[in-house]
Copies of this chain bind each other. A is one copy, B any other.
Amino acid sequence: MELVRTTPILLAPGPTEIDPRVLKSMATFAESHFAQPFCNTFGDVLTMLRVLFQSEDPNAQAFVIGGSGTLGWDFVGTNFIEPGEAVLCLSTGYFSDGFEMCLSTYGARTTRMAAPIGTAPDLSVIEEALRTVRYKALVVAHVDTSTGVLTPLKPISDLLKRVSPDTLFVVDGVASVASEDLQFTAWGIDVVVTGSQKAIGCPPGLSILMVSPRALHVANTRKAPPSTWYASLVRWLPIMQNYEKKESSYFATPPTQIVHALRTSLLVMLSRPLEERFQAHREASARVKAAIRELGLTQVARKEEHQANGVTAFWLPDGLTSKDFLSRAAAKGITFVGGMHKELGHKYARFGHMGYSAVSEDAGHIDKGIQVLREVIMEYYSERANDSASRYEATFTGPVRASL
């Protein structure tokens, strides 16, 4: 089966380019979700996810549910937080805010702690908040894809252990799992929400979660029953436990082909040490960020320690809108994506370098992406210089030219 490419290379922070082996798994023949072969596939996936999440407690549980990463937010809202409970939501962009709004839909009493755009919330401010209110959960986007801001988790983990050990540590890892080091057990994380289509390198369509034994207990013993059917942990838990034992079980039909693709992706990923994968992301990221700098541009994420390794959000030169930038880049064979911010979205663009494109040097995606980025920006600089010169000329010789 040969795959013939006719589309631009996708360097977005999700969906990302897909390893051809993973893509081929998408064309797996139809099979019953009740039959043994699929149980084996799904079982492998659930077990391998433990390794990817660095989850060492056998009583933690991975969940793989048909839907987008966003569905994971509902899963958190309906299972781990009772209506009226206080939740501290750190915000570093569009997705942090979405998570917060989702939780408040489920009745959580949320406190939004937003850092200025491009920065991560200050630890001392978080500590103060944790000392003031007894929060049921602290929610943070490890990487907010909208801004490329990475919030280091280890310091928050240390802070929670020290100041508020009963608070559930909930992480949106949609744009970080498989591109950033994320140590589920060592950092005492209770819930990580992610999707299939970013650094995990599959097509979109799966909501993927890892849940600690403590969070499972919270969900299993909550007073109010879960307010949804499809996102109910108590309904999905036995399904995941059975599939991990390679036994069939039914609540809703899983997206069998994407589960196959996920198995292939995990097999490829885990055939090398995870640290190598993270290092490949750091290197790809460093190359992109160097190119941005050399072009005289600045990143949305201000400090190096808050810059994600899977995506670079950068301010465009004055006068170049993201729409214009994207169409110029697309014409040269690369799909980047624009900014996501109510007022500032059109002023910046995002270069995704996660998953297959970051780890497979042979594919040459990052090289090509940097080349196109340089060409587009340099061409724009050059047009602007000409334009500026001709405007200068127009002003200076205006009356004469006008008379021609």
Chain B nearest Cβ from A349, distance in angstroms: 12
**A130: CB under 8 A from chain B?**
no
Is the pair B74, A204 in contact by a Cβ cutoff of 8 Å? no
Determine, out of A65-73, A157-165, A312-320, A392-400, the stretch whose residues face the partner at the interface.
A65-73
Is the pair B256, A204 in contact by a Cβ cutoff of 8 Å? yes
Given contacts A67-B67, A253-B15, contact A335 B32 (CB under 8 A): yes
- Closest residue of B by beta carbon distance from A195: B253
**Per a CB cutoff under 8 Å, which of B2, B12, B67, B340 touches A230?**
B67
Copies per complex?
A: 2
Q: Is the interface of A mostly helix, strand, loop or mixed?
A: loop
Given contacts A3-B1, A204-B254, contact A35 B68 (CB under 8 A): no
**Per a CB cutoff under 8 Å, which of B3, B34, B68, B254 touches A253?**
B68
Cα(A257)–Cα(B7), bound, Å: 14
Is the pair B70, A252 in contact by a Cβ cutoff of 8 Å? yes
What size tier do the contact residues of chain A reach?
Answer: 35 or more
Determine, out of A20-28, A285-293, A369-377, the stretch whose residues face the partner at the interface.
A20-28
User: Contacts of A338 on B, CB cut-off 8 Å?
Assistant: 34
Most buried by B among A32, A70, A71, A254: A32
8 Å CB contacts to B: which residues of A1-57?
A: 1-3, 5-7, 10, 12, 14-18, 23-24, 26-27, 29-35, 37
| 10 extra interface residue pairs, beta carbon distance < 8 Å, beyond A5-B29, A102-B230, A106-B229 | A10-B29, A27-B27, A33-B204, A67-B67, A68-B252, A71-B252, A73-B229, A106-B227, A204-B255, A228-B231
Q: Which 10 A-B pairs have the closest CB atoms?
A: A205-B255, A70-B252, A102-B229, A68-B252, A26-B26, A1-B1, A203-B257, A67-B67, A10-B30, A204-B253
